[in-house]
Structure 1
Amino acid sequence: MAPEVFAEIDPPQRLLMGPGPVNAHPRVLRAMSADLLGQFDPEMTAYMNEVMALYRPIFGTQNQQTFLVDGTARAGIEAALVSLVAPGQTVLVVDFGRFGLLLGEILARIGARIETVSAPWGQVVELDAIEDALKRVRPSLVATIHGDTSTTMAQPLEGFGALCRKYGALSYVDATATIGGMELAADRWAVDVVSGGLQKCLGGPSGSAPITLSEAAAERIFARRHVERGIVRDDLDDGEGPRIGSNYFDLAMVMDYWSDKRLNHHTEATTMLYGARECARIVLQEGLENRCARHRAAGRAVTAGARALGLEVFGDHRHRMSNVTGLVIPAGVDGEAVRRRMREDFQIEIGSAFGPLQGRLWRIGAMGYNAAKHKVLITLGALETVLRAEGFAAPAGVAVEAALAAWNAELSA
């Protein structure tokens, strides 16, 4: 019996207005259709060098060690943590949502001693609370999320890295949900390691994780191994504990691959590198300030339109992300029925929520290629129609009008 042959892939053309992924920019998709090259071809290594140069301004850094980890955004997170932290070392996790919990899950697998400083979902952790925890636990690393899409909150980072250094700790920031849409200032913030992903504000597909490391972070990682006759050996007497417990996510080896040494580590994901390179080119051509302003306009338009409909916007408004907005599901409305109608009747995807917020929130993302005025207006117009069909007394036409006014006011300010 012949094996079944499935039909050609032909997905629906959905407008992805959830917390990510979002629709990829057409230029990124075109770049990813280019021919493959060998991993040591001089054209390929030139592209690698260009990627490093392109992502430094996006991270707000001069770090030499700025490159890609092959894998989704979580690959960048795991590579950073497994390379920086040895079993038994103390790590302070800044926890204000689902992805703070994820940091703890990864660190537990490494065997770290985990301490947390937390805030309720919908709030952020104040710098004073982080300092109190630093004094108390004296960690080797402090890890936080920048924008946690589970709660739509953005943790303030001005002064964060300097505070960690004051107490002898390195700092790590997961900027998956904010890179390319909200300001990143790794050098000004004195943050040691920042990682991200393509699939949100950068407007690419999931599968590549940009990362940047300070000299201090790189030195700690390189100190955890030595090379004897060209072979990496355990070095248990260097004060840093066992060698990095992963081969693929060993950033010491990955950094050697991205350096002029070009030491073989893995076969670089050529197509993803092309996509990541084009994402960065688009960001820099638009300009970082213009891009952040566009994301702010999109977020404020979503907020204004939702409030005009009579919906409550979730969380501490002083610290909301500009690119993802949480809307409280009104009493008596079936949240999943609304999402289903949005998808089936309008081909628009909006997000649900995690954990204690499951069934309580919708999350609307307007980021990257989708942080566009017409896409926000289409989404809000569809949401109004669906809410009315579900029995919610939404005023006719007000969402689009309010969103349009908010968009124009933000960009003309």
Structure 2
Amino acid sequence: LREAKGIRPAEGFRKDTSRWVIFPRTSYLNHIKLEENAPKIGQDFSGYRFNQLEGEGTFGIATAGISATYTREVLHHCGKAGKFLKIATANPFPEALALRFLEGLEKVVVIEELDPVIENALIHLCGKYHLPTVIHGKLDGTVQPAGENSVESVAGVLEKFLPVQMPKKPELPTPPPLPVRPPVLCAGCPHRASFYAVKKALKGRKAVFCGDIGCYTLGNAQPLDMTDTCLCMGADVTMAQGMQRIEPDTLHFSFIGDSTFFASGITGVVNAVYNQTDIILVVLDNSTTAMTGHQPHPGTGVTMMGEVSNCISIEKILEAIGVRSIQITDPLDYAAAVAAVQKAAGETGVRAIIFRSPCIAKIKPAAPVCVDTEKCTSCKFCIREIGCPAITLSGGKAQIEPSLCTGCGLCTQICPFHAIDRKEAAK
């Protein structure tokens, strides 16, 4: 079957130290080869069937990807529109094809998303070959500098150069405005309980909470407001270290998920321990990679191919690194979680709290809880404090939406009047 499809068998690794062992000298020589080969590859790309040039005239449009589809849809309502260049391989740039495109053009508008790659390449060619063509795009403000393109945005750009006559949309009744719904942690998410425990344990103390990439980035939303930074995977640990050097009188927390810990957090913890940094590492262990698809990681005990493997222990890694204070607790046990944070806040050096509770998508939810309306005083404490989407108001009283509630029990532990209980739900 592989032969029928023209797929050649893998040749395996061929030893060639001049290619694969990059000493300074071989790096220099290979850099020369790379620069020599780039124009040749670009020449080949000029004949590549997905790099397309069509049309004629003194005005041109250069585009790529989905923006090319949007542009073609707009041009369908323009008649003849000049030259059209669609780029599929921007590096190395198909220089010969682009020069044929630029020949005889007075103006070009470049429509692309993200960085102005095609625009810069065309400007470079105009300078290199002293061409009089004026290039318009992101750099001169003709095209929006950020965000995604659309048929409407492309039409708005091309209207500056062409007689665009987009069909009128049918007049429809104005729909009611949609309610504002910012992204929030799911009802029953253990991360909500982790953040809340830290927040309550540190009430009145100066602290900075460095976050990371994952569901727990949503800890920055109100009412939790527990994520002060988010840059890239693993940066929570390293940013906390840097801030601690600047403000040694402040508690610096580093929030990181279990999958991110394995991916890029370990090295930062090694650095923190070795340099005797005073930070509190909080590992939010929900036993999955929740935000990006629930794929397994080294702590789940399952490989990407679905094979069972030995779990790698986060706590044993921390012990091996040299973290001396390690606490493991269930964040849904509110009192125990607060006590763990208070203990860590009273210590020095690198200390770790592992909040271990599975993602609600990994377990069967418990029976939903219920509000005793006779005990509820309408104080709205449950809503103001944790912001769980399963808690709403009805007639001024708190109400639990049973279709959303997973029975995590956090609200039952924080209600000052004990108005939320599992017993009511069973009746």
- Normalising by structure 1, we get a TM-score of 0.27
The one of the two structures with greater contact order (alpha-carbon pairs below 8 A, sep at least 6) is 1
In our comparison, the structure showing a higher alpha carbon Rg is: 2
